[in-house]
Amino acid sequence: MRTKSHKDRQIQVVTLGCSKNWVDSENLITQLVHSDFAVEHNPTQYGAGTVIINTCGFIERAKEESIQTILEFAKLKSKGHIQQLYVSGCLSQRYKDQLEVEIPEVDAYFGTLEMPALLRRLNANYRAELLGERQISTPGHYAFLKISEGCNRTCSFCAIPLMRGKHISVPEEQLVQQARLLAAQGVKELILIAQELTYYGLDLNKKRLLPGLLEKLANVEGIEWLRLHYAYPAGFPDELLDVMREYPKVCRYLDLPLQHISDRVLKAMHRGIGSRETKTLIDRIREAIPGIHLRTTFLVGFPGETPADFDELCRFIEEQQFERMGVFTYSHEEGTSAHSLEDSISQEVKEQRAQELMGLQESISFNKNQQKVGTSFKTLIDRKTKEHYYGRTEFDSPEVDNEVLISATGQNYLRVGDFADIRITGAEPYDLLGESLHHV
């Protein structure tokens, strides 16, 4: 994305990590543009001016990628290809003191809540009134809406609260205003994100306010799809299901990270929910919203996870037939409470377990996709190549889920950013093939 072109006030922002980090970069860019900087986000060529790297520090692999990226830019700076180098985000929040010593080429490091300080360093103004505005860098028809920052949970494996702090909900009026501004820019799908979506509101007035927020967002003109990511299972507010049922704009899709199913492991993970409650929650969700597609995430190789715990997890996955699933391997993170346990499972076994789960999921996903052949879905067209248009149904989130591939040959009806009725003609494990019901 290029927003202006002023040679001496050029800033390039490099974003690593998750969608929440992406939103932080978009907010930073909005502030910079209002201070008359020319900003490029993840450009293909780097050079001149200032580079800001917004890092991730979630697990070992993410930390390595962030450090590697900082080192590459430090080299560019040493060669004079860039003038100033700043690092922000989770890695910087967590390891600032060490990084300052180990990579001194960086001009300054900033934590996750230090955007005003970073702006001051750049001689830019921090404008609180811009908080509802955002220069999105996703395709113009969808955007992430971060409804809160931080997390009050104490999952024993998770370093996120160390980097993002306690849960802070964004006031509802600000989110609705943001949704209106995004809709006015052409956004049709809002993807609600947070570390823990269902905690929304508890810090504001001791009530879970996500259902009410969702209702208000569903009434924003121009927004056609609302999608929910990261609903924590313990304390799940069932009123949310009423709103999902009542408002067709809310996609029949829910990302519910479960992490495990063995009671022993869930307890050691401090998840606040056991196997029986998890299963009844899934039953309630599927009963309330027929056809809902559930995405979940599991963590394998947690300290002390026995072959029996892992088998229980495999059986659970076969039983539940989740439509979408992701797997992480346990990463032994300092500062988390699980760090006091012995990291007892070898990396090799962790990887094997992850692969086994993904093998199970591949055939579940393939069967589920096969069942869609011959039916039609409202599909949002995300992008186009020479050969294909790529769309998504309400059951798929960008980047992580299925796409629907539609041949571009002789196709004059489809347009990127528009909805279309697509009939499914074929299925692969993680993608669908389709044809437009309207040919011109």
Our CB check for ligand SF4 shows the closer of 14 and 210 to be 210
User: Residue 22, Cα to own-chain centre: how many angstroms?
Assistant: 9
Q: In the complex, what is the shortest distance from the CB of residue 296 to ligand SF4, in angstroms, rounded to a whole number? A: 13
If binding is defined by CB under 6 A, does position 196 make contact with ligand SF4?
yes
Does 160 participate in binding ligand SF4 (rule CB under 6 A)? yes
> Which tokens is 26 given?
């978009």
Answer yes or no: are the C-beta atoms of 222 and 187 closer than 8 Å.
yes
User: Which residues ranging from 61 to 90 are in contact with ligand SF4 (CB under 6 A)?
Assistant: none
Three-class HEC string of the chain: CECCCCHHHEEEEEECCCHHHHHHHHHHHHHHHHCCCEEEECCCCCCCCEEEEEECCCCHHHHHHHHHHHHHHHHHHHCCCCCEEEEEEHHHHHHHHHHHHHCCCCCEECCCCCHHHHHHHCCCCCCHHHCCCCCCCCCCCEEEEECEECCCCCCCCCCHHHHHCCCEECCHHHHHHHHHHHHHCCCCEEEEECCCHHHCCHHHHCCCCHHHHHHHHHCCCCCCEEEECCCCCCCCCCHHHHHHHHCCCEEEEEECCCECCCHHHHHHCCCCCCHHHHHHHHHHHHHHCCCCEEEEEEEECCCCCCHHHHHHHHHHHHHHCCCEEEEEECCCCCCCHHHHCCCCCCHHHHHHHHHHHHHHHHHHHHHHHHCCCCCEEEEEEEEECCCEEEEECCCCCCCCCCEEEEECCCCCCCCCCCEEEEEEEEECCCEEEEEECCCC
Which of 16, 29, 62, 151 touches ligand SF4 (CB under 6 A)?
151
CB of 418 to ligand SF4, least distance (A): 35
- Select the span of 154-162, 314-322, 327-335, 399-407 touching ligand SF4 (CB under 6 A): 154-162
* Between 23 and 29, CB nearer to ligand SF4: 23
Give me the least distance between CB of 155 and ligand SF4, in Å please: 3
Q: Distance between CA atoms of 379 and 19, rounded to whole angstroms? A: 22
Among the candidate windows 83-91, 150-158, 219-227, 236-244, which touches ligand SF4 by CB under 6 A?
A: 150-158
Q: Does 53 bind ligand SF4 (CB under 6 A)?
A: no
Which of 157-165, 238-246, 343-351, 426-434 is the region at the interface with ligand SF4 (rule: CB under 6 A)?
157-165
Q: In the bound complex, what is the minimum distance in angstroms from residue 280's beta carbon to ligand SF4?
A: 20
CB of 381 to ligand SF4, least distance (A): 32
Q: Tell me which of 73, 110, 142, 232 binds ligand SF4, using CB under 6 A.
A: 232
Q: How far lies 378's CA from each of 61, 350, 375, in Å?
A: 37, 39, 11
**Contact flag: residue 153 with ligand SF4 (CB under 6 A):** yes
- Interface residue with ligand SF4 among 195, 320, 369, 402 (CB under 6 A) is 195
Selected binder of ligand SF4 within 161, 211, 233, 237 (CB under 6 A): 161
CB of 271 to ligand SF4, least distance (A): 8
Minimum distance from residue 243 beta carbon to ligand SF4 (Å): 22
User: What is the smallest separation between the CB atom of 269 and ligand SF4, expressed in angstroms?
Assistant: 8
State the Cα–Cα distance between residues 111 and 21, nearest whole angstrom.
12
Q: Which is nearer to ligand SF4, 196 or 305 (CB)?
A: 196
Comparison of 111 and 161: residue with beta carbon closer to ligand SF4: 161
Interface with ligand SF4, residue 158, by CB under 6 A: yes
Find the binder of ligand SF4 among 155, 193, 244, 266 (CB under 6 A): 155
- Mask: binding to ligand SF4, 96-125, rule CB under 6 A, as x and -? ------------------------------
Minimum CB separation of residue 234 from ligand SF4 in Å reads 9
> What's the closest the beta carbon of residue 326 comes to ligand SF4, in angstroms?
13
Binding site for ligand SF4 (CB under 6 A): 151, 153, 155, 158, 160-161, 195-196, 232
